[in-house]
Each structure stands twice: as C-alpha cells, then as structure tokens.
Amino acid sequence: MQETVKNVLTGHFNKKKAFWFFLTALVTIIVWNLPSGVFGIAGLTVVQQRVIAIFVMAVMLWLTEAIPSWATSVTIIFVLLFFVSNSSFKFMQGSEGEYGQLLDSVGIMACFADPTIILFLGGFILAIAATKSGLDVWMAKTMIRPFGKKSENVLLGFLLITGIFSMFISNTATAAMMLTFLTPVFKALPANGKGRIALTMAIPIGANLGGMGTPIGTPPNAFAYKVLNDPAGMNMDISFGQWMAVMAPLVIILLIIAWFLLRKLFPFSQKTIELKIEGDMHRNWRTTVVAVTFLLTIILWVFGKQIGVNANTVAMLPIAVFAFTGVITAKDLQEIDWGVIWMVAGGFALGLAMNGTGLAKAAVESIPFGEWSPIVILIIAGLVCYFLSNFISNTATAALLIPILSVVCSGMGEKLNVIGGSSTILVGIAVAASAAMTLPISTPPNAIAYSTGLIQQKDMAKAGLLVGIITLVLGFSLLVVVGKSGLL
C-alpha cells in the first residue's frame, strides 16, 4: 500500500501493480462476505471466514507482488489485529457462539518477538560482526587455500565455502560477498570460456543449498523449526544440533554433486586460476571478541540441548556480547534485513490465525486426507512448494503451506510413520523451497548472480533445474530414512 501511494505521489505509477492491488482488495472483500455455505466447511464461523479472506489476500499479494512481500506481512498482522482479535472493533467481535473464537491480540503482536525471530536476529548480528571485523574475508582466504590453483578445484572450493557460510550467514549476504571475491578471478579467465559461467553459478547454487544446513539458514527452515518445536503443537524438541547432524551432510553431498554437474555443463578451457582475495582481517581486540563469540555460539547451537540451553536462547549470546563490547553499534542495526524479519513475523501470524481460530483443523477435516497415501501428500506438497518458490519468495511459500500441512500432519497421526512422520513433510517443505533455483527471480542469490551479466537465463535454468530435482529426490529420501530411525 505504501509503495502504491508513494508511486502515485511521485508520478511513478505502476498500472500493473495497481491493477493487482485493487483486484486483490475486491476479491478479499467478496470472500469476506460470501455465504458461509459456499466454502463447504462444516460449522464454519464468521471469524474463520475472515481468516480465509485474509489468507486469499496474502496469496494474491505474495503471488503478484502488488506491494513488497514484507508489506504483505505487515498488512496481514494489521487486519488480524483490527478485525479478528479480541482487541478489534466491537462491532466486529460479537459473541463467541455467534462469531467464533477470536484471536488473542497479545499473541498476534508476540509474533514480532517470537523466539525464532530472535534466532534469526542472532544470525544477522553474527554476519554483520564478521563482515565489520573482516573475519569473513579471513575465513574465506583460509578455507580456499587448500583447494590450490586448479580451475576445477577452485570451483569446488567456492561451492563448499559458499555452502558453509550460508548455514550461518544470510545466503543473500554470502552470495554478494563471494561474487565480490570472484571479480579478480574473472579477469584472469578467457572472456569466451564457460568457466566463468560455472564459477558464477557456483555462488547461488552453493548459497541456496547451504541454507538447508541449519534452522537459521533460510526463513522456510525457521517456519518448519518453529512448528515442529512449538510446545502448544507438535512439541518434538528438535535441537539445532539434530537438524544440522542430518541436513549438513546432505548439503555437502549435494554440493559435490553440483560440482560434477557444473564441470560437465560448463567446462573450463583454462586449467589453472590465480586466486587473489582482496581485503584483510582487522587485528584488534574486537576481532578477537567476534571470533570467540562466533565459535562459542556455533558450539552452543550444536551441543546446547545436552546442557539444557535451546538455540533461541543461544542466539542472545552474540547480540548481548557485541552490544556490551561496542562491536555492534546502533548504526550497524540498520544493516539487518528487517524485510525478512517482518516477512517471517507475518507468516507466523498467518499460521497463528489459521490454527488459533480452528480454521485449519475444520478445513482439513472437510477433506479426507486420512484416505490419502502419505507418500502422495509428501510428493504433492513438495512439488507445489518447489513450483511456487521458483516464482515467488520461498519465505512466502512456506508461510502459506506450513500452517496447513502442520494440521494435516496432526490429523494423520501414526499413518505418517511410513514416511518418517511429520518432520519428513515439514522439513521437506523447507528443502523444496531451497531447491527452487531455476530463475533469476527464484532467490536473491540467483538475482545477484544474474545481475553480473556473466550468465544467461538459459544457463541458470539448466543448472538450477538439474540441481533442484536431485535435491528433491535425495532430500526427501534422506528425510524418510532419518524420520523412520527417529533421528529427526
């Protein structure tokens, strides 16, 4: 809405976005006021119908991008507070028997400070501190050195380093940083060679795959992690270390497979590369603080469950230490990707609305999921997520699908044991979201790589599709095996 108004005032009016915005508003109002019998959900309440309208609004705005994705999340929270909560207008409330269960306004607002949001903030703060101190450059230099000068080995090095960085640092920031390191390399390569394409594609592929490795790697991971560990929901108590123990090896295997594919698709004509990474680490006490805190945070994330500290609590360690020591200042906080934080909060609010009003349960009960094969549900959910994530934000896709699937999983109960339980489907959604890397618009790392002008859309589609399909097959297969063994 803000962008639409701004464009009107400044004369930069986007007719296409305006059309989608007003069509979304019209459809939302229609759905809001339709007779409840139209939806085919037994016992549908007024409040639940409003949530359906809000869900439709979210889908249309996220699909069409009539307003920025984060603005859609803010709008979701606004509408929920003013029209579906116990703090909404009195004429919107009515009696519980007449209107249905209203949402707790405090619970909606708490989505902004959900423990998983703090987990994400901890990751962002670590990334800012690492960049500010030059620790990220030092780590990149140190990690790339063992790969030598052979072109194909340098390619492997960039894939693995990007993947590892993306487990703990925003994959967008990682892609931007690694492509900066590659600039001097491109100058040494033949202008008409395919090696440039291989190296450029290594960055978004490494970033997208690496994000699967930890709960903070990507927002879809955070959605799955929250739902699986919610004390009021599935309460599976999956630790940061458990997630990483399963997903990090998968990431390494996929990165090596991607290496073989890129070598075959875009072979190097020059056999060696002289690699020079610009920049250096600042040698002072603050850098020591960053390095020690970084290492301690990761250790506690991995082993925290054994000593009784959860990952969300651990995320406060770097925030507190860097604030107390002055490593991070108020100005540095402006570098946090608040758009992602708002998007995640909006997704949590949408999930809260669907579950808190009983809508998700009522909708699932009206569809005979119990008669469906768990394998069919896993495949359909994965493919829908993969398809949507190629065209819209994978955060938005996960925000739409995970609340619904969490209720589907709860309703199917032990029937899901044949595919490893609820974790297979919900973590599978996160995997499918990360596997979507076919187009420049699919992920921010893809967009950054495409903006270099070194790769064409057909090159990205070719490599991204192959890696994505392999990721879906291997990822889902591993999750079934791991789920059956009880490791996740």
The pair of structure tokens assigned to 338 is 């608040």
Q: At residue 13, does pLDDT exceed 80? A: no
Q: What pLDDT is recorded for position 9?
A: 40
Beta bridge partners of residue 85, listed in sequence order: 103
Count of other CB atoms within 10 angstroms of residue 102: 20
Q: Are 117 and 341 in contact (CB under 8 A)?
A: yes
pLDDT for 184-240, tens place per residue?
777 667 667 788 889 999 999 999 999 999 998 888 999 999 999 988 778 888 899
Per-residue pLDDT band at 425 (split at 50, 70, 90) = very high
Rounded Cα–Cα distance for residues 343 and 431 (Å): 19
Per-residue pLDDT band at 411 (split at 50, 70, 90) = confident
Return the HEC string of the chain.
Answer: CHHHHHHHHHCCCCHHHHHHHHHHHHHHHHHHHCCHHHHCCCCCCHHHHHHHHHHHHHHHHHHHCCCCHHHHHHHHHHHHHHHCECCCCHHHHCCHHHHCCCECHHHHHHHHHCHHHHHHHHHHHHHHHHHHHCHHHHHHHHHHHHHCCEHHHHHHHHHHHHHHHHHHCCHHHHHHHHHHHHHHHHHHCCCCCCHHHHHHHHHHHHHHHHHHHCCCCCHHHHHHHHHHHCCCCCCCCCCHHHHHHHHHHHHHHHHHHHHHHHHHHCCCCCCECCCCCCCCCCCCHHHHHHHHHHHHHHHHHHHHHHHCCCHHHHCHHHHHHHHHHCCCCCCHHHHCCHHHHHHHHHHHHHHHHHHHCCHHHHHHHHCCHHHCCHHHHHHHHHHHHHHHHCCCCHHHHHHHHHHHHHHHHHHHHHHHHHHCCHHHHHHHHHHHHHHCCCCCCCCHHHHHHHCCCCCCHHHHHHHHHHHHHHHHHHHHHHHHHHHHHCCC
The pair of structure tokens assigned to 123 is 């990751």
The average confidence (pLDDT) of the chain is 86
% of the chain beyond a pLDDT of 90:
35
Q: What pLDDT is recorded for position 468?
A: 95
Q: At residue 8, does pLDDT exceed 50? A: no
Q: What pLDDT is recorded for position 476?
A: 95
Per-residue pLDDT band at 97 (split at 50, 70, 90) = low
**Is the whole model's pTM more than 0.85, yes or no?**
no
* Amino acid at the residue 374: P
Contacts of 476 (CB under 8 A, 6+ apart): 378, 379, 382, 424, 428, 431
pLDDT for 358-393, tens place per residue?
887 787 777 776 678 889 889 999 999 999 888 888
Contacts of 168 (CB under 8 A, 6+ apart): 123, 126, 127, 214, 216, 217, 298
pLDDT for 43-79, tens place per residue?
888 999 999 999 999 888 888 888 888 899 899 999 9
pLDDT for 263-300, tens place per residue?
999 998 888 877 666 666 677 888 899 999 988 988 88
At CA 75, angle to CA 45 and CA 26, rounded to 5?
Answer: 65
Q: What pLDDT is recorded for position 279?
A: 64
Highest mean pLDDT among 31-40, 174-183, 246-255, 360-369: 246-255
Phi/psi for 170 (5° steps) reads -45, 130
Q: What pLDDT is recorded for position 156?
A: 93
Q: Are 442 and 201 in contact (CB under 8 A)?
A: no
